[in-house]
Amino acid sequence: MMQHIGLLPRLIIGIISGILIGLYLPEWTGRILYTFTHLFGEFLGYIVPLIIIGFIVAGIAELGAKAGRLLAGTAGLAYVSTILAGIAAFFIALVVIPQFITHGAAGDPDAEGLVPFIEISTPPIMGVMTALVTAFIFGLGINFLKNEKQQTTMFQFVEEFRSIIVLVITKVIIPLLPVHIAGIFADMAATGEAFQTLSVFARVFVLIILMHLGYLVIQFSIAASRVGGNPLKSLKNMLPAYTTALGTMSSAATIPVTLQSAKSNGVSERIAEFVIPLSATIHLAGSTITLVACSVAVVVLDGGTPDFTNFFPYIILLGVTMIAAPGVPGGAVVAALGLMSSILGFTEAQQGLMLALYMAQDGFGTACNVTGDGAISQLIDSWSDKPEAEQPAREA
């Protein structure tokens, strides 16, 4: 019956259950739950490099079938937008979040938490950076072979490999996330951290939504400066895409609505039908805003000081990793777990907090992603050469 309940309600149930187990039930029950959390965390660490390889290799290999100049413009604009969103989110979060989170607000660092009954180490087959480099080498190589020599065996293999990883994410990781988070909160309840952490969640959530909306206004204002018209009216025309993504939490599932919304803003059919599906997989500004802001919150919550010299490479690589993110609810944060541990040094508990924070607003992040795709399509449309007959009259 639980599989028929939405992911967010299941996460809330997991958090509440974990806190109740950590506070009121015998310690051995919490240890059983935390044993699962430990083993699941090891599995997450193992699968992350495979996610990166599976999705980035296939993503790069697929790009060869696209129009070169149009592809380069769309990909470049999407990447720059994603990186700028992450940088802006860092500095805003750095100023705002410490105003309502004190250093070390998560509780007493010396308090004893739960100990798993069984500890099994499952090291990944390679590090995150090794996986990224490997993915680029194989992705570019397969792209070349596919286009120059028409050899598609390796391309078929990486497509099937990606399908396997999608199955693991959709059938194993996402369904078990509520139990994993329940174990984390059971441990936090045992150490007295749970309620302090929950008090922070709502305020971080509100800040993230405001940053999403602010960035959308900036994106459409820039597009309006190029194509003319009213940016707020363009945003209004994208509202069907925003609300659809809010419900589906999937950029891919929202593509038909996003296409229609972009065309209502005067984007030509040829450009919209190329840019919107491509941007749905490579332009994740909203997800990046969420991941960066949540990362800052977790660092401050655990008594650290966010440092831009650490966060800048994290943001740069997030822009690449988001391309690898599968188009399923929670896919972006799962794909980014390796960067959190390798660059920011996040522990298993901190990664669990990131999962909970991100999943609580996943629909809003996706809505920001797809709505921003409309601004990208307007800009690309204004730069492209097309017959006069293809240029619909733009609304004033």
pLDDT tens digits for range 80-104: 999 999 999 999 999 998 887 765 5
389 CB-near residues (< 8 Å, 6+ apart): none
Which tens digit of pLDDT belongs to each residue from 247-292?
667 676 677 788 888 988 888 888 887 888 778 777 889 989 999 9
Q: Cα separation of 165 and 153, whole Å?
A: 19
| Residue 112 three-state SS | coil
pLDDT confidence of residue 293: 92
* Averaged pLDDT for residues 38-67: 74
pLDDT (tens digit per residue) in 333-390:
777 888 888 888 888 778 877 887 787 777 788 889 999 999 999 998 888 655 444 4
pLDDT at 50 over 80: yes
What is the pTM assigned to this prediction?
0.73
3-state secondary structure 174-239: HHHHHHHHHHHHHHHHHHCCHHHHHHHHHHHHHHHHHHHHHHHHHHHHHHHHHHCCCHHHHHHHCH
Architecture of domain 2-390 in this structure: Orthogonal Bundle (1.10)
The pLDDT value given to residue 68: 57
Half-sphere exposure of 347 (CA within 13 A, CB side): 9
DSSP string, 260-325: HHHHHTT--HHHHHHHHHHHHHH--HHHHHHHHHHHHHHHHHTT----HHHHHHHHHHHHHHHHHS
pLDDT at 185: 79
Asked whether residue 235 carries a pLDDT value surpassing 70, the answer given is yes
pLDDT of res. 375: 92
Token pair, residue 220, equals 């459409």
CA distances from 9 to 30, 168, 194, 356 (A): 21, 21, 18, 12
pLDDT band at residue 305 using 50, 70 and 90 as cut-offs = confident
In this model, does residue 67 exceed pLDDT 70?
no
